[in-house]
């Protein structure tokens, strides 16, 4: 079911583009703001505490016998890994779309985005201490994937990439998170590091969500609709985290 939900999260974004052909960038930014608030809230309320309370951190990466310090290093690593990936993806993970109308496939962008999605899926195939942690991580990835898929497919079509080729690229992207989870699930040794992998994903989530929230207002002007989206995203995350 996890693999199917990861795949469908991209499929929903594709369906939104093909059925409704969204052109209003403001509405897309509202959706991205909602997703950013959601993943930031579940990260702070649930994923971070779970990562620090885990006792599975192996001695090989435990610094001076302090697993918490090691988890913190991995969170920082995830943050900077995402920073590096954005040199390739040009920030499409948080809604940046670059239009060149050339009709060419942005291979660097696709590579960066696919690596990002693959890493996000890896903790889901491991052995997290609590099923609720897996559910919250899965929910965060799904909520994040939908607007990213909308932005990506809209950009590809707007840039003149043929629809068939664009859909193949979306299929590749849709398979990345399930492949990451599947690799972790099949590789027993890798599955033992699920909390460490989640710490890396937490760093990625923190980078993406804070970037979205900092950029949520154009020129720092108050935008009521975006504020509503942010409050709604945070509120729903609080409710789902507490259930």
> CA-to-CA distance for 112 and 159, rounded, in angstroms?
18
Instruction: Tell me, yes or no, whether 126 lies in a domain.
Output: yes
The string of pLDDT tens digits covering residues 141-171 is: 999 999 999 999 998 898 888 899 999 999 9
Q: What is the pLDDT of residue 106?
A: 79
Q: What is the DSSP string of 27-80?
A: HHHHHHHHHHHHHHHHIIIIIHHHHHH-----GGG-BTTBHHHHHHHHHHHHHH
Instruction: Tell me, yes or no, whether 211 lies in a domain.
Output: yes
The dihedrals phi and psi of 66, each to the nearest 5 degrees, come to -115, 95
Instruction: Tell me, yes or no, whether 19 lies in a domain.
Output: no
* Regions of the chain with pLDDT less than 50: 59-60
Angle formed by the axes of helices 2-20 and 131-158, nearest 10°: 30
Q: What is the pLDDT of residue 59?
A: 46
Distances (CA, A) of 143 to 40, 55, 150, 219: 11, 28, 12, 26
Structural domain range at position 222: 2-14+24-242
- Confidence (pTM): 0.86
Query: Domain tally for the chain?
Result: 1
């Amino acid at each position: 079911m996890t693999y199917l939900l990861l795949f469908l999260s991209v499929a929903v974004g594709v369906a939104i583009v093909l059925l409704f052909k969204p052109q209003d960038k403001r509405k897309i930014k509202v959706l991205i703001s909602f997703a950013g608030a959601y993943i930031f809230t579940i990260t702070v309320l649930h994923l971070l505490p779970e990562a620090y309370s885990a006792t599975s951190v192996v001695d090989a990466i435990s610094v001076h016998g302090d697993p918490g310090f090691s988890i913190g290093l991995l969170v920082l690593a995830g943050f900077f890994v995402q920073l590096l990936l954005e040199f390739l993806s040009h920030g499409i993970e948080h809604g940046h779309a670059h239009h060149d109308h050339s009709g060419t496939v942005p291979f660097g962008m696709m590579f960066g985005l696919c690596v990002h999605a693959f890493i996000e899926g890896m903790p889901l195939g491991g052995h997290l201490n609590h099923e609720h942690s897996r559910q919250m991580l899965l929910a965060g990835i799904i909520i994040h994937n939908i607007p990213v898929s909308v932005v990506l497919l809209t950009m590809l079509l707007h840039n003149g990439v043929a629809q068939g080729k664009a859909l193949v690229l979306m299929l590749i992207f849709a398979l990345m998170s399930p492949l990451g989870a599947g690799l972790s699930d099949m590789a027993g040794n890798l599955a033992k590091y699920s909390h460490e992998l989640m710490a890396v994903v937490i760093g990625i989530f923190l980078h993406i969500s804070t970037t979205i929230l900092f950029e949520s207002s154009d020129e720092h002007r108050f935008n009521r609709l975006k504020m509503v989206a942010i409050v709604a995203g945070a509120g729903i995350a609080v409710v789902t985290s507490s259930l």
